[in-house]
Amino acid sequence: MKAVIDIRNKKNKISRHIYGHFSEHLGRCVYGGYWVGEDSPIPNINGIRTDIVEAMKAIKVPNIRWPGGCFADDYNWMDGIGPKETRPPMVNTHWGGVLENNHFGTHEFMDLCEQIGCEPYICGNVGSGTVREMRNWVEYLTDDGNSPMAQLRRKNGRDRAWDIQFFGIGNENWGCGGFMKAEYYANEFRRYATYARNYKSMGETNWWQVAPLIKIAGGSNAEDLQWTETLMREAGRFMGGLSVHCYVKPGEESSGTVFSKDSWYQTAVNTLNKESLLKQNISIMDFYDPEKRVLMAVDEWGMWVDNEPGTNNAFLFQQNTMRSAMSAALMLHIFQKYSDRIRLCNLAQTINVLQAIIFTEGAKMVKTPTYHLFDLFKKHQDSYYVPVAWDEKPKSIKMGLPNADISASASDNGKVFITIVNLSADDKAEIVLNFAGRKARSVKGGFISGEVTAHNTFDNPNRVQVQELNDIQVVNGEALLSLFPCTIAAVEAELE
Ligand code: AHR
Is the pLDDT at 205 greater than 70? The verdict is: no
In the prediction, which pLDDT does 222 show?
83
Is the pLDDT at 204 greater than 70? The verdict is: no
Q: Whose CA is nearest to atom 5 of ligand 1?
A: 69
pLDDT tens by residue, 65-105: 999 999 999 999 999 999 999 999 999 999 999 999 999 99
Q: For residue 95, which atom of ligand 1 is closest to its CA?
A: 6
Nearest to 489 by CA among 461, 470, 462, 463: 470
Is the pLDDT at 208 greater than 80? The verdict is: no
Single-letter residue type at 291? E
pLDDT tens by residue, 344-403: 999 999 999 999 999 999 999 999 999 999 999 999 999 999 999 999 899 999 999 999
Helices (H), 120-256: 131-142, 148-155, 182-195, 225-235
In the prediction, which pLDDT does 212 show?
75
CB count in 10 Å sphere of residue 124: 27
In the prediction, which pLDDT does 285 show?
98
Cα gap 432→439, rounded to integer Å: 13
Q: What stretches of 18-124 adopt beta strand conformation (E)?
A: 20-22, 44-45, 48-49, 63-66, 90-92, 98-100, 119-124
The packing angle between helices 274-288 and 322-337, to 10°, is 30
Q: For residue 94, which atom of ligand 1 is closest to its CA?
A: 6
CB count in 10 Å sphere of residue 48: 22
Is the pLDDT at 210 greater than 80? The verdict is: no
Q: For residue 177, which atom of ligand 1 is closest to its CA?
A: 8
Is the pLDDT at 202 greater than 80? The verdict is: no
Distance 171 CA to ligand 1 centre (A): 9
Nearest to 135 by CA among 218, 74, 193, 208: 193
Element (DSSP H or E) covering residue 106: helix 106-116
Cα gap 212→150, rounded to integer Å: 18
Distance 92 CA to ligand 1 centre (A): 13
What superfamily would CATH give domain 386-495?
Golgi alpha-mannosidase II (2.60.40.1180)
The residues facing 432 across adjacent strands are 2, 480
Active site residues: 172, 300
Cα gap 40→48, rounded to integer Å: 10
Mean local confidence (pLDDT), 202-206: 60
Residues 6+ apart with CB under 8 A from 239: 189, 193, 215, 216, 217, 231, 294
The residues facing 64 across adjacent strands are 21, 120
Mean local confidence (pLDDT), 262-268: 98
- DSSP symbols for 412-471: TTS-EEEEEEE--SSS-EEEEEEBTTB-EEEEEEEEEE--TT-B--SSSTTSS--EE---
Cα gap 417→409, rounded to integer Å: 5
CB count in 10 Å sphere of residue 459: 8
Report the Cα 41 to chain-centroid distance in Å.
30
Q: Whose CA is nearest to atom 9 of ligand 1?
A: 69
Q: For residue 316, which atom of ligand 1 is closest to its CA?
A: 2
In this structure, which topology does domain 14-383 adopt according to CATH? TIM Barrel (3.20.20)
Cα gap 348→300, rounded to integer Å: 6
The strand pair at 44-45 and 48-49 is best described as antiparallel
Distance 218 CA to ligand 1 centre (A): 12
Query: In the predicted model, what is the mean pLDDT of the chain?
Result: 96
Give the residue extent of every domain in the chain. Answer: 14-383, 386-495
Mean local confidence (pLDDT), 436-455: 96
Three-class DSSP labels, 260-300? CHHHHHHHHHHHHCHHHHHHHHHHHHHHHCCCCCCEEEEEE
In the prediction, which pLDDT does 414 show?
84
In the prediction, which pLDDT does 71 show?
98
Is the pLDDT at 209 greater than 90? The verdict is: no
In the prediction, which pLDDT does 283 show?
98
Q: Whose CA is nearest to atom 4 of ligand 1?
A: 69
Distance 163 CA to ligand 1 centre (A): 26
Is the pLDDT at 29 greater than 60? The verdict is: yes
Range from 40-49, 182-191, 205-214, 372-381 carrying the lowest mean pLDDT: 205-214
Nearest to 383 by CA among 2, 19, 3, 4: 19
In the prediction, which pLDDT does 27 show?
98
Is the pLDDT at 342 greater than 60? The verdict is: yes
Mean local confidence (pLDDT), 325-350: 98
Residue 56 near residue 367 (C-beta atoms within 8 A): no
Is the pLDDT at 276 greater than 80? The verdict is: yes
Residues 6+ apart with CB under 8 A from 42: 36, 49, 362, 363
Is the pLDDT at 198 greater than 90? The verdict is: no
Nearest to 99 by CA among 88, 114, 86: 88
The strand pair at 440-449 and 467-468 is best described as antiparallel
Largest CA distance in the chain: 69
Q: Whose CA is nearest to atom 8 of ligand 1?
A: 69
Distance 48 CA to ligand 1 centre (A): 24
In the prediction, which pLDDT does 199 show?
80
